[in-house]
Structure 1
Amino acid sequence: MRVLTVWAVSTLTMLVLAGILPDFRLQSGDGASITQAGLAAAWGAGAFGLLSALVWPLLVRALLLVPALVLGLLVFFLNGSLLLMALSLVPSGQGRAAPETAVVVAAAMSAVASATSTALAVRDDEAYRRRLYRLAARRRRQRRAAAPGREPPPGLVFLQLDGVGYEVLREAAGNGTMPTAASWLETGHRVMPWRTDWSSQTGASQLGILHGTTFDVPAFRWYEKDTGEVMVCNRPTSAAELQRRAVARTGDAGLLAVDGASRGNLFSGGADQLALVLSVSARRGRANRSRAGYFAYFSDPANAVRTALSFTAEVGREIGQSVRARLRGDRPRVSRGGLYPLIRAFATVVERDVVVAAVIGDMLAGRAAVYADLVAYDEVAHHSGPRGRDTDRVLARLDRSLALVARVAEHAPRAYRIVLLSDHGQSPGETFLGRYGLTVKDLVRAGCGLPVSRRAGGTPSGAEARAAVLAALHRPVEEGEEAHPRPGRTDPVVLASGNLAVISFPDVPGRATREWIERAHPALLPTLANHPGIGFLLVDGHVLGPGGACAPLSDPAAAQELLAAYGPGAAAAVARTDAFPHVPDIMVNSAYDPATGQVHAFEEQIGSHGGLGGEQGHAFLMWPADLPGPEPGLVGAEAVHRVLRGWLREADGPQVPVGPGGRAEAEPAMPPKDPRPRPAPGGMFPSAGVPVQDESR
């Protein structure tokens, strides 16, 4: 009945479109009765549906090596080709359509068919449950055949909300913005903060979480003198090299090496199942499986139509929000023009849809461990600030994705525990350029006695979404002239990572000593240390502050006293970075105001992360209470890796209750201020047979 209903609606849609579009008709030139037109529409709609079901998956699989976003665009043209083929199968030969019109008709029919199927599935809950139970039962039979007499242990799904700090999560759960997260806390999950390393950014944190080490990752961008290259965590070649170094250091493939899946991450974690993973996106050929997740999503053309509509709506939403911010005179504010609306839409729509679809497929396949990164909040918060209406709406949509994953988990062929975590937070504040009228590079050049450009320029955003877009297009991520410094260059290389900046002198072999810097550029260190927008410097094992303050890291108490404003553990984090082989000659951390929690980003971001100061260093970890609670005072991504690996090892063992005796007393449940339940919206990924939000509606 569902198939017949969808067929009837598709037939009616084709008739309406034939009456509206001048280049699309279902009748011959001398006219035909409405019955003949209806029969032609029924034939065309049926043939189009059959071709979509049979031919479309083969076409998409053949095009897997095409760049991901190109594949998304090709969907519409291939869909139009299928419609033209379907019209040619109409017995009377009456179906005609111009090629460009066929694309529009095919998109409309796919969207209508998907919406109709979704509405019927939502209304028929029992049929939906039966379909999921059949799929789950088939998976269970396969696993029982592989391991007779043994039920699989519970799997773990790790969902990373990129950039969502601990306090932001508490507020969103408490005020009703994230009702799903709030309900988890009410019914058994526990949450606690964890403190990042000095480099509070996804590259370092996710490398530590997935591969167990953050060693020798001093910032988001840094210059390596031995190779003459700039390492950028969101550049595919750099990500691949960082992953290789981590595996060599730990001797372990990663957290997800056993029956794992990595979705939307910078690194693979050793997983075999990959989608939108940056460290392997630069590879070519059939061995590259990083875009395999696109097949599961684009194998149904309705998904491409739905995502395109949501993408367009998100671009319009961003333009409207940006215009309103200008009219209100919001401060601080950064430019949100150019390609940013498209990048934001990619992060909040395309990346989310593909990653969530892949996670759903992983659970229905019964995989043991899944780690997925959702970058939507981080991208929007960089340009709109960590708190506000813009980010609240993003958090609400992410919460609906969590509800969807939880709903599917109830029907998976094995039990699943869902762990929610973040890699860092974000600190607000006016940019260094906006506050002082010059970039940190200008300040360094002035301190070195070098000419300063009259035209101040911003540093490209370090957000993961920009790199994901370029990787999806097979385009390299470059950083302007700093990406490949000229041989024999004597000017300092200055790179920004949020509110952290690094300075290297390419012509000095090894790490430059403090004495050399003071002799070669006597004004540089005083110029930097005494600037009101800079908090402290790391130079050759010493922490320098304003007014000539200096503390050697060999004296932890003195160093911590100088860094007291940045919180406990600041000196230890700086000392750890100081021991890295590729630590830059000078590291610069922006000023931080503990009263307001604000920093000054050296990039054009009013919500930033990358260094010390404020909520950027306070990530969170939320886990089901039947898992062993972490030790209190969790510090560093490597410590989080050990906790997650312990949960994977103990998944089928006796559970340790959370409570006293060395275990963390986690934060209590946080009831939302608005106790009214919010129903999760419907939608459907037809290829997976599971619901998904339709943001275009």
Structure 2
Amino acid sequence: MRLWLFPPAPPLTAPRRWRNLGAAALRVLAVWTVGTLTLLVLAGVLPDFRLQSPGGDSATFIGTTAAIGAGVFGLLSALVWPVLVRALLLVPALVLGALVFFLNGSLLWLALSLVPYGRGAADPGTAVVVAAVMSAASSATSTALAVRDDGAYRRRLARLADRRRRREGAREGPHTPGTVFVQLDGLGHGMLREAVRSAPGEPPLMPTLAAMHDTTHRLTRWRTDWSSQTGASQLGIFYGFNGDVPAFRWYEKERGEVLVSNRPSGAAELQRRAVEATGDRGLLAQDGASRGNLFSGGAQQVALVLSVAARRGRENRSRAGYFAYFSDPANATRTAVSFVAEVLREVIQSTRARLREERPRVSRGGLYPLIRAFATVVQRDVVVASVLGDVFSGRTAVYADLVAYDEVAHHSGPTSRDARLVLRRLDRSLALIAEAAERAPRPYRVVFLSDHGQSQGETFRAAYGLGLEDLVRAGCGLSVSRRVGRTHSGAEAREAARAALHRPEDGLPGSERRPPRGAGPLVLASGNLGLVSFPDVPGRMSMEQMDKRHPALLRTLADHPGIGFLLVHSDEHGPVVLGGAGRAHRLNSGEIVGGGDPLAPFGPGAAETVRRTAGFRNVPDIMINSVVEPDTGAVHAFEEQIGSHGGLGGAQNQGFLLSPAELSAPAGDEELVGAERVHLVLRRWLGEAAEEPVQDTGPASRPGREAFPVAGPRGPAAAPGPDREVRVPGPEDARSRRGRAARTEGGGGQEGAGDRRSSRRGAPTS
């Protein structure tokens, strides 16, 4: 029995062939009719554009002229435009913006000159306007007829693959598998498991991943670092190093600046430090591509990568980015229509939540509908198109980040109906990537993973009536502002949108970017993680110094019902975790003071995670983690987010790896902890692929076939259990035992090796 991700296409019988031809003919006729009507309307509106002779013609002649002109213009656009776009991809984007209108107007002028009646005429400026309106109307009509036609998109993929094979002739593709890593930003292990389960009588939320789960792919949970956010996680995954990254944003006393990991300048600085610390260019240095990420990972091919967004050079021009995607008018129209629909969807959903008085709830006005539409439509479409281009190009390693779910979950909640609808739409994009991998010139393994999860809960301000900064200032005996302030959101999509528009960084006011010394404590937030620094005190301020300077501060914070624990540094005991009622955990000695461990509610491994962060060079004077509800896992974000991540507590610390069964198991019997260890796993998998030649298994496995089987036989031999907690081998294991011990982990054994052979024949992730 075989499980099919994409059902086999039924035989192309004569009736079905005629139906396909009829549908195509109707689509062409509809576009032609709209183009004709558009020409007639413009001829009546624009004084310098006519479809009749100066003496006048009958309505029949005018209509025929419009129909012929529209048909010739459409034919020229179909035949000439692809060649022009291919050539224009080599010129700068600003030049393209000017040339597109000129060349489109030239095509219309040529089309009118070819009308046999010789009636049509337009001056050059008017021809440009008419051509632009014609292209928009025709493209909108074509897109509206096929906006949800996945079959048409799949046929286009087949044509792209066939065109590449014809261009390459008999030349063979690489003999080793390529690897595609697709990061579903913010999707936690628990939510992923829920999304791939089928309720009675209902399909799973994400049917593409559900078809792979526990059949061709194994699901592994991994635990994040204390800083459970994309900056720290992705830096560790790409470079094997995320030391000195205590949070999403933090104050560096040596530089006197606030560093924010999702600003282009911040991402570039973190990338530079990681390369300097490891001497390694990154996970994607060998024939890699980085799409939609904070960092390049060493890839030469980049698109929508924030760490290079501030640079303007040859290395930052990617044909697979916005430039290449929007140079196709059909792509631009399709995305524009979906963008507007997503803005309206957000307005409707936020209005409904407000009318129903749903709780928890945060403000979703201002620019947020546009930012959400960018994340869920523009970023998704451009990244997926870039990955498809990489796969058809046979690139060795591709890493792409899809941020749509993370952005919506911040404002609607990670388990909300709004976020679930986003996951359903994302699953369709994952299906396209999996199908493209099947038609590629080399076999591919597609690995799905997340950088962290999200925890839900009311914001700290909504739950307790004051913000963290107000509480800190009150503990210091300083005045508290009566004006309700807002903490800048840490969502990745906002800065990605600004980078796409080439807007300068202005997310932090000057006083926060470079706070003046002596202005009181600087309070920053990263989800439910708070950071307090005293800029006028050089070096890290000790617990003893704080008690002398602000005697009530630490107890005010530690005893607050919304705060779980504080991390401070003691001159006598080193790093110390403080909890309410006088409890303390001295991390160096492991001594518990006051009758209870303040880290106990945060699960096993919390002490090791906090101790590691305490050794960072940039750790602030006080690190504050909100309380976590033991029954629900709810936390209280210090930012205006009801779905948050950045600290400890709940689902935000549970990422996942959904990897093909033919790859070695991620780890052994211990828990997989930290992004740096995930880096070792991905490195090992790339090494395995580089050493494994792929045998030709016949026509059924070559690109271009109609059916896409995902799995061989179900059962334990096909893949290990989904919740196996595993240990990552060290670097020496990755080098010396890459193919031996790893294949026996997770219950695969010799039968697992057989499944790897069979799944390579059928699975789109092979």
User: Normalization by structure 2: what TM-score?
Assistant: 0.80
Distance 1:564 1:105, change over 3 A: same
Distance 1:290 1:246, change over 3 A: farther
Aligned mates of 2:147, 2:558 — CA distance in 1 = 61
Distance 1:125 1:425, change over 3 A: closer
Equivalent in the alignment of 1:677: none
Q: CA deviation at 1:245?
A: 0.7
1:246-325 aligned at under 5 Å gives the runs 246-289=274-317, 292-325=320-353
Equivalent in the alignment of 1:548: 582
Q: 2:592 aligns with which of 558, 574, 587?
A: 558
Aligned mates of 1:177, 1:227 — CA distance in 2 = 47
1:79-478 aligned at under 5 Å gives the runs 81-89=102-110, 90-91=112-113, 92=118, 94-95=120-121, 103-113=132-142, 122=151, 129=158, 132-136=161-165, 138-139=167-168, 141-142=170-171, 151-175=174-198, 176-289=204-317, 292-475=320-503, 476-478=505-507
Q: CA deviation at 1:617?
A: 0.2
Q: 1:27 aligns with which of 39, 42, 51?
A: 51
Q: CA deviation at 1:308?
A: 0.5
Q: 1:498 aligns with which of 516, 527, 537?
A: 527
Distance 1:199 1:94, change over 3 A: same
**C-alpha RMSD of matched pairs (Å):** 2.9
Distance 1:398 1:341, change over 3 A: same
Q: CA deviation at 1:185?
A: 1.3
Distance 1:417 1:331, change over 3 A: same
More displaced stretch, 128-137 vs 337-346: 128-137
8 A Cα contact 1:658 1:664, kept in partner = no
Q: 2:611 aligns with which of 575, 590, 593?
A: 575
Equivalent in the alignment of 1:645: 683
8 A Cα contact 2:289 2:300, kept in partner = yes
AA at the equivalent of 1:602: F
Q: 2:32 aligns with which of 5, 11, 23?
A: 11
Distance 1:57 1:605, change over 3 A: same
Distance 1:321 1:119, change over 3 A: closer
Aligned-residue identity in percent? 55
Q: Give CA-to-partner distance per residue, 1:481-507, whole Å, 9 cap, x none.
A: 454224434411111000001011111
AA at the equivalent of 1:155: G
Aligned mates of 2:149, 2:544 — CA distance in 1 = 75
8 A Cα contact 1:447 1:527, kept in partner = yes
More displaced stretch, 592-601 vs 483-492: 483-492
Q: CA deviation at 1:297?
A: 1.1
Q: CA deviation at 1:64?
A: 3.1
User: Normalization by structure 1: what TM-score?
Assistant: 0.87
Is 1:635 the equivalent of 2:652?
no
More displaced stretch, 443-452 vs 129-138: 129-138
More displaced stretch, 561-570 vs 424-433: 561-570
Aligned mates of 1:140, 1:225 — CA distance in 2 = 60
Task: Tell me the SS of whatever aligns to 2:666.
Answer: coil
8 A Cα contact 1:566 1:613, kept in partner = yes
1:478-627 aligned at under 5 Å gives the runs 478-540=507-569, 541-556=575-590, 558=592, 561-627=597-663
Q: Give CA-to-partner distance per residue, 1:49-78, whole Å, 9 cap, x none.
A: 455334344445434379xxxx9xx6xx87
Q: Give CA-to-partner distance per residue, 1:67-101, whole Å, 9 cap, x none.
A: xxxx9xx6xx8765554333322123625558766
Task: Tell me the SS of whatever aligns to 2:57.
Answer: coil
Q: Give CA-to-partner distance per residue, 1:85-127, whole Å, 9 cap, x none.
A: 3332212362555876654432121233567799999479889
More displaced stretch, 652-661 vs 448-457: 652-661
8 A Cα contact 2:146 2:152, kept in partner = no
Distance 1:81 1:594, change over 3 A: farther
Aligned mates of 2:534, 2:747 — CA distance in 1 = 46
AA at the equivalent of 2:640: E
More displaced stretch, 419-428 vs 281-290: 281-290
Distance 1:123 1:647, change over 3 A: closer
Q: CA deviation at 1:328?
A: 1.1
Task: Tell me the SS of whatever aligns to 1:650.
Answer: helix
Q: Give CA-to-partner distance per residue, 1:274-329, whole Å, 9 cap, x none.
A: 00000000112334236752233123111111110010000000001001111111
8 A Cα contact 2:216 2:718, kept in partner = no
Aligned mates of 1:557, 1:111 — CA distance in 2 = 68
Distance 1:278 1:121, change over 3 A: closer
Aligned mates of 1:118, 1:335 — CA distance in 2 = 31
8 A Cα contact 1:160 1:374, kept in partner = yes
AA at the equivalent of 1:530: D
Aligned mates of 2:552, 2:64 — CA distance in 1 = 88
Aligned mates of 1:436, 1:385 — CA distance in 2 = 19
Aligned mates of 2:472, 2:378 — CA distance in 1 = 39
Structure 1, unpaired ranges of 5+:
145-150, 668-697
Q: Give CA-to-partner distance per residue, 1:343-372, whole Å, 9 cap, x none.
A: 000000000000000000000000110000
Aligned mates of 1:344, 1:109 — CA distance in 2 = 28
